[in-house]
Amino acid sequence: MTEDPEERQNLALLCFYPARAMEARLYAALAAAGFDDMTPAQGRIAARIGPHGTRLTDLAEQALVTKQTAGHLVDQLERAGYVRRVPDPTDGRARLVQMAERGREVVALARKIEHEVEAEWTAHLGDKTAAQLRAALERLREVTDPYR
Amino acid sequence: MTEDPEERQNLALLCFYPARAMEARLYAALAAAGFDDMTPAQGRIAARIGPHGTRLTDLAEQALVTKQTAGHLVDQLERAGYVRRVPDPTDGRARLVQMAERGREVVALARKIEHEVEAEWTAHLGDKTAAQLRAALERLREVTDPYR
DNA sequence: CCATTTTCGTCAGATCATCTGACCATTGTC
DNA sequence: GACAATGGTCAGATGATCTGACGAAAATGG
């Protein structure tokens, strides 16, 4: 663009930049560590798998995609060795998607990167401002996250 | 999920909720107003068209997609009457993508919705916290938006 | 307990967004 | 004027996503 030097950006757009930056950092780091076969879409599904496994339908709902899409992505994650499907002992129709060993490695690395990036941001903002930012975002979440 | 009631979420995820919420609100409102043929991908391109028109290559760069993808989306926007392509008077190779009348209508409506949603958020947070949030996000943008 | 309805997941097929690679036309440079 | 750089398109492939239909198991309700 060539104009509007002083435009007041909308709050949602300002929120978008850090989210995008984190995703980019995360995928770059995972790829560098050899996990170069996981796509962002797979990641968004994988990130929602609970400690004891999660049903496909629940993953789909939380990730805001259809269960067909979720199933497709879980197929890929399973083929790549990140997750496995086990029967749900409490429901014969259902299966639980669980993290496999390789999946747990990715999660551990991703958590580490997240903390590093967040530490950079906190260093840039200062502790006080970072804390205020977090508090404000947590309150904003009350009205922006319907799956809270 | 059934566990982790008190998990400390990472800052980027907290940023993601408002961004997603705004996008959802925006597209719902546009669809309700009859602009139901614009997809999010088209919107992300259209949102970057400057007042006097913008080159395809620039749109692609700012939207973080290839120029082929941008061209594809502009084709659709053009077919739907949202934008037009005109020759760039300063460069015979280039063409400027400009908003057409219908595009300007959408932009006006989108701006209105954005302001409404932002006003809701400000009401929820209180003026002071909302101002702190904006200030913190603007500073964070310094290290998270490479296209600033 | 059986019949009906709901829920969980899959199959099939389509569409859309996106990419890589090749290519042409124009521009700018030496 | 030759040649590299830039703006854009064409062609083909892939991946994420959807809608619709379906089978199997579970829950519900006489």
| Tens-digit pLDDT profile for residues A55-104 | 999 999 999 999 999 999 999 999 999 999 999 999 999 999 999 999 99
CA distance B15 to A101: 30
CA distance A69 to A75: 10
CATH of domain A11-144: 1.10.10.10
pLDDT, position A148? 60
Contact criterion met (CB below 8 Å) for B145 and A22:
no
- pLDDT over 50 (residue A5): no
Residue that the structure tokens 């804390």 belong to: A131
Which parts of the protein come within 7 Å of strand D, by CB position? A 39-42, 44, 64-66, 68-69, 72-73, 76, 91-93; B 55-58, 67-68, 71, 74, 85, 88, 91, 93-96
R_g of chain B computed on alpha carbons: 18
Our measurement of CA B68 to C1' C21, in angstroms, reads 12
Residue that the structure tokens 């009348």 belong to: B101
Give the pLDDT band of residue B24 (cuts 50, 70, 90): confident
Closest nucleotide over all strands to A73 (CA to C1'): D16
CA atoms within 13 Å, Cβ hemisphere of A146:
10
CATH of domain B39-99: 1.10.10.10
B36 or A76: which carries more pLDDT confidence? Answer: A76
A124 or B147: which carries more pLDDT confidence? Answer: A124
Q: Tell me the mean pLDDT in the region A39-64.
A: 94
Residue spans per domain, chain B: 9-35+101-143, 39-99
As a whole-number percent, the residues of chain B with pLDDT over 70 amount to 93
What sign for the dihedral angle of Cα A77, A82, A85, A88? negative
pLDDT, position B147? 64
Q: Tell me the mean pLDDT in the region B139-148.
A: 83
pLDDT, position B2? 33
Closest CA to A12 of B65, B100, B49, B111: B111
pLDDT, position A52? 94
What does the mean pLDDT of chain A come to?
91
SS3 B5: coil
pLDDT in tens, B39-94: 999 999 999 999 999 999 999 999 999 999 999 999 999 999 999 999 999 999 99
Residue A107 contacts B, CB cutoff 8 Å: no
pLDDT, position A28? 87
pLDDT, position A27? 87
Contact criterion met (CB below 8 Å) for A34 and B141:
no
Does B50 contact A117 at a Cβ distance shorter than 8 Å?
A: no
Work out if A73's Cβ lies within 7 angstroms of strand C: no
pLDDT, position B4? 42
pLDDT, position A104? 95
* Packing angle, helices B11-32 and B101-125, rounded to 10: 130
Q: Tell me the mean pLDDT in the region A7-24.
A: 88
